[in-house]
């Protein structure tokens, strides 16, 4: 790219970043999206999305592609599969270096680097993600109508999502490493008293297997070290969430969980730096909430540069 100067640069090309790019480009403001992976972020991992308003069912890949095309149609430039090697966000002019050689400048920056669900990092997990393995009950629960599924985890998220999944699945089995849970008393009691929920405690999944989609898991008993297989239609993993904010930890104020802290206008503690999406401190993480963040951050970033 010959032109390296922009009004606003967005770091991250998931739904929050692409929405911000769309709004900024439509306002005739010069904008660049820098994305270290492929466009779409976590959304790409979702096999089918059925809860995005106005769209019945669509793959995460196609929704990502549509979002990017729409943003680009208004003049947003999207640069993907790059590596951000350094940046300076604290001056009036922000600079971001890509692949150690290209330096881009902007008056404002929106951080939309997203996050990712913590993985088990075991055999078959990557292969069957989106093909039987999910990290989002709200996104994928209804695809397991009358199926048997496993929920992995022992905190509030795992317990609450297990209960939520019973409205779809005919049976839910919670697999947890310990003999006790880390959730609130109410969440624990609700799960334990639910007739559709069973438990395999002091155990962990050590492998996922199948042909075109997930068909069975291998489970290890942590007391005896014995392993056994279990036929299953799907597995939901809720063992934590990792915001993609490590590069900003000594610059921008982060929560104890590593999320970027912002006000209602998506403004961070650094003037001219905004945040949107799953890397922000928040309770609900959905495509729709990321899109909302992207809209607000875009309009406030435009307001910021026009006031200078």
State the Cα torsion 88-93-99-100 to the nearest 10°.
Answer: -70
Task: Give strand pairing partners of 80.
Answer: 35
Q: Is residue 1 part of a domain?
A: no
Q: Is residue 71 part of a domain?
A: yes
229 with 245, same domain?
no
pLDDT digit of tens for each residue in the chain (308 aa)?
778 999 999 999 999 999 999 999 999 999 999 999 888 988 887 767 888 999 988 988 899 999 999 999 999 999 999 999 999 999 999 999 999 989 999 999 999 999 888 899 999 999 999 999 999 887 889 999 999 999 999 998 899 899 999 999 999 999 999 999 998 899 999 999 999 999 999 999 999 999 999 999 999 999 999 999 999 999 999 998 889 999 999 999 999 999 999 999 999 999 999 999 999 999 888 899 999 999 999 999 999 999 98
89 with 192, same domain?
no
Q: Which of 181, 202, 237 is the last residue of a domain?
A: 237
214 with 250, same domain?
no
| CA distance linking residue 268 with residue 177, whole number of Å | 38
In the chain, how many domains are there?
2
232 with 281, same domain?
no
CATH code for position 51: 3.50.50.60
151 with 220, same domain?
yes
What are phi and psi for residue 78, nearest 5 degrees? -115, 120
Q: Is residue 156 part of a domain?
A: yes
Q: Which of 184, 207, 237 is the last residue of a domain?
A: 237
Total-model pTM: 0.77
Task: Give strand pairing partners of 86.
Answer: 97
103 with 131, same domain?
no
112 with 219, same domain?
no
Which residues constitute the domain of residue 71? 8-116+241-307
205 with 288, same domain?
no
271 with 232, same domain?
no
Q: Which of 237, 266, 299 is the last residue of a domain?
A: 237
68 with 126, same domain?
no
Q: Is residue 2 part of a domain?
A: no
Question: Residues 29, 79: contact at Cβ < 8 Å?
Answer: no
């Amino acid at each position: 790219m010959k032109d390296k100067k922009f009004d606003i640069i967005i770091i991250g090309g998931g739904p929050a970043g692409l929405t911000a790019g769309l709004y900024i480009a439509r306002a005739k403001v010069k904008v660049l999206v820098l994305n270290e992976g492929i466009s779409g972020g976590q959304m790409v991992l979702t096999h089918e999305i059925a809860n995005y308003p106005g769209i019945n069912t669509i793959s995460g890949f196609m929704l990502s592609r549509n979002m990017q095309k729409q943003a680009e149609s208004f003049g947003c430039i999207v640069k993907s599969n790059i590596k951000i090697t350094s940046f300076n966000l604290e001056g009036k002019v922000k600079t971001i270096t890509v692949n150690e050689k290209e330096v881009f400048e902007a008056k404002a920056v929106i951080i939309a680097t997203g996050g990712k669900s913590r993985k088990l990092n075991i055999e078959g997990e990557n292969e069957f993600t989106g093909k039987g393995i999910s990290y989002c009950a709200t996104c994928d629960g209804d695809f397991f109508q009358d199926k048997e599924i496993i929920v992995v985890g022992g905190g509030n998220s795992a317990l609450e999502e297990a209960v939520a999944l019973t409205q779809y699945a005919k049976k839910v089995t919670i697999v947890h490493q310990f003999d006790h849970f880390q959730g609130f008393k109410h969440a624990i009691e609700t799960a334990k008293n639910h007739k559709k929920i069973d438990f395999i405690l002091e155990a962990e999944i050590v492998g996922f297997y199948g042909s075109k989609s997930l068909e069975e898991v291998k489970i290890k008993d942590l007391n005896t070290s014995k392993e056994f297989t279990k036929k299953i239609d799907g597995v939901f993993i809720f063992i934590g969430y990792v915001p993609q904010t490590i590069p900003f930890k000594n610059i921008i104020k982060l929560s104890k969980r590593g999320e970027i802290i912002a006000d209602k206008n998506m403004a961070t503690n650094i003037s001219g730096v905004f945040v949107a999406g799953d890397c922000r401190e928040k309770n609900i993480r959905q495509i729709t909430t990321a899109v909302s963040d992207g809209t607000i951050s875009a309009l406030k970033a435009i307001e910021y540069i026009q006031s200078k």
